[in-house]
Structure 1
Amino acid sequence: MDKIYQLTTGHPALIQTICYELVRIANMAARKNMTMDDLETITEEQILKRDNSMINIFWTQFCMPLFQ
């Protein structure tokens, strides 16, 4: 949870989106535990690559660089 907060600087919509994607992956894979690799995959494939300039601006201008 700390890493999610750090990545999003606490932005509620981004936290919700990341958590939604984590739950979706966990349900599809029938697992209860998520890994940092899951978070990295979601961030790169689902969040950053969405065609949503508002979110892209937020990620690139206000959030820390990913996975330092």
Structure 2
Amino acid sequence: MSTTSNEKSYFDLHTSGIGYIQRVREVPVRGGRRAQPFLACTIAALVGSAKDPSYRYFDVKVSGAEAK
């Protein structure tokens, strides 16, 4: 007997460390009556050895009233 599962699956990224916020910007949106610009930024996260770190970049959309 087999069962089919319709559960949604997804990946979450949980991390801690040090990074820098770069390229804070308001992104204009075209089209639609309710289209509104949104706030975005790039996070440059330090990864690797503490003696020779490198950067990993995350381009993200800012959400939440407190963050804005």
- Counting strand residues as a fraction of each chain, which structure ranks higher? 2
Structure with bigger helix share is 1
Specify if TM > 0.5.
no
TM interval, short-chain normalised: under 0.3
Q: TM-score, normalised by structure 1?
A: 0.21
